[in-house]
Structure 1
Amino acid sequence: MSLVDQRRSTRQISVGNVKIGSMAQVSVQSMTNTQTQDVVATVNQILALEKAGCEIIRVAVPDMEAAQAIEKIKQQITIPIIADIHFDFRLALASATAGADALRINPGNIGEAKKIKAVVDCAKKHGIPIRIGVNAGSLEQEIEQRLGTTPQAMVESAVRNIKILEDLDFHDIKVSLKASDVSRTVSAYRLLAPRTDVPFHIGVTEAGGLYAGITKSAIGIGMLLAQGLGDTLRVSLTRDPVEEVRTGYEILRALGIRSRGPELISCPTCGRCKIDLFKIAEQVEKALLERSSRIKVAIMGCVVNGPGEAKEADIGIAGGDGKGILFKKGKVIRKIDQDELVDQLLSEIDKMIKNSEKFNGKKE
């Protein structure tokens, strides 16, 4: 059951083969943290992100070498790539020429009107959209002096920059309004929503490390999605970007919007637990990352309540004292030596996935 209000109606755009807007599903994207000019490292990271379910990838383009590297990167990946541009309009032109599927710019820091027009003309020529990236930390000086770094200032910047592009007869636009705290981010999107039909890319920027970042992102992105706001999302973490994708899907799953891959449930442990549940849960969670079939997997600490409490799970294990059990839909299937619990669970999961794909005739 979805917890989401009616989805905001927007225009629809395309980033490569990914449709974005209210008629398309909310897509999950991330950003590489490699040096873009290091093609091998960047491609390897993107391929790992693809396996985790990343649907759009953004790369930093700080110089011409990075812009030109996009051509070689594109040849080795399957998901669309967005070039992240700041200040130098020539990098946007070079990135589009190299095959970028979209450009992320802040027109306010690109410079004079003729430079912005050059970027827009180039995007038109190559048939790619532009994401206007408004960040509370880098607003136009005039706006910040007048309104500070408030949600109102962010919205004014966004409206101004959307108008710049639309006055040039360019409409393949999406916009992001990011701050490092939840309240300003959510308020800004709420204020902008009734003023434009441009799709929203949502997220909380500079959210922090794993715990702070996940907490801020889950609350901020979750609040927006629950109100029907958001067409693409990125969870910003100071971690491996695979964790961003993983968290993004968990947010969507929790709201009943999208479900990708197995869902893992596990008990919080108590004095009855006689196995290293933390380690086992981590091993299983890591192993399930690249599996896309939607099944529910339970990791329970003891056999006393395990199968009963997790009877809605498709499959699970519960620990004991030297031995554990494997169960399906709450029914015990067999006892297993403790050191074989993970291997046998994963083996059974793969059998379930294979049978499901055979029955459905395709992968889920």
Structure 2
Amino acid sequence: MKIEAIAAQFATDGKIGKLNIHAGGHINDSYRLTNTMDDQPDYLLQRVNHNVFKDVPLLMNNMVLVTDHVAAKVRNIYPDEVERRSLTIVPTIDGLTYFKDPEGNFWRVLRFIEDHLVFDSTTDPDIAYEGAKTFGAFSAMLNDLPAEKVGTVIPDFHNMKWRLTQLEQSIRKDAAGRLKVVKEEIDYVESRAKMMLTIHELGEKGTIPLRVTHNDTKISNVLFDLDRKGLCVIDLDTIQPGYVTSDFGDGIRTLTNTGEEDDENLDRVTMDLGLYEAFASGFLDSTREILLDAEKDALLYAGLLFPYMQAVRFLIDYLDGDTYYKVKHPEHNLVRTRAQLKLTKDGEDKMDKLKAIIKKLS
């Protein structure tokens, strides 16, 4: 089915002219639909990858719940900027939130937000602060949306106990015959398992509550205005019940690494304290009033948990024979594992400083 025919299934205003591939995002295909009428908006047509997201109707239901909730909050603060500060889902001509084409692909349309900036990464503390503040504001606006109203899109996504169970299974199977290469990495992972289960155990006990969380808080999932101030959070596919530590920890993992996620030179991989403090400051400036003391305390562990968890996921895939992540060479997942473990170790070495930052900002 042609893209033009798919776009015509949605109740867009004005008249759509050009359709151009829109850069950004690694999972969903996106097209910008340009309006020929100057007083009408452009739109973003996206194919939702149902190989990654198995239950697209559930995903879209989550997205509607969250965008409606956020829009209502934004309307009270910025009544003239609702469509710039929250995502707007455009229904199909049949009133549905998505269109399923004859090939079984799922499509959705969002109103395009004009005049924005996106940063794939940053070393600027001001950008880190603004991005974190925007993620935190998103969390704060969802504070009164009960987590049980939102469905689980990816079961056990940030469940460290489950990831360690997966690792045990992969060690036993040794499907690719690589176990002998990673003894040192496995020893380190196992030696830190108890500490890295802290957040899981706090959740199990009910010490920290389930919230509606974003779960993919890299800086590129924030739109900034042209003055480099945060506008809104995007890429809501991974919205589901979780702990606030997920949104803090994944932001820290992706933002503060001075090297690359797959850096072969481990000397380059450190946790930047300036960016850590900027992110923590922005996040807590937006969430300080809504978080429990136990949640604030748990943020310290989150900054270590997420590089550790990602290392475990890369290690599992290396042992399994590279069946999940795309690899550029046979040792790619091992390189990734070692880089993420180095980031974890550097965070451990700086634990007293990280603790002081969280305490000061809380």
Flag whether TM exceeds 0.5 (same fold): no
State TM-score, norm by structure 2: 0.24
Larger Rg over CA atoms: 1
TM-score normalised by the chain length of structure 1: 0.24
* Between structures 1 and 2, the one with greater strand share: 1
Q: Which has the higher contact order (CA 8 A, sep 6+)?
A: 2
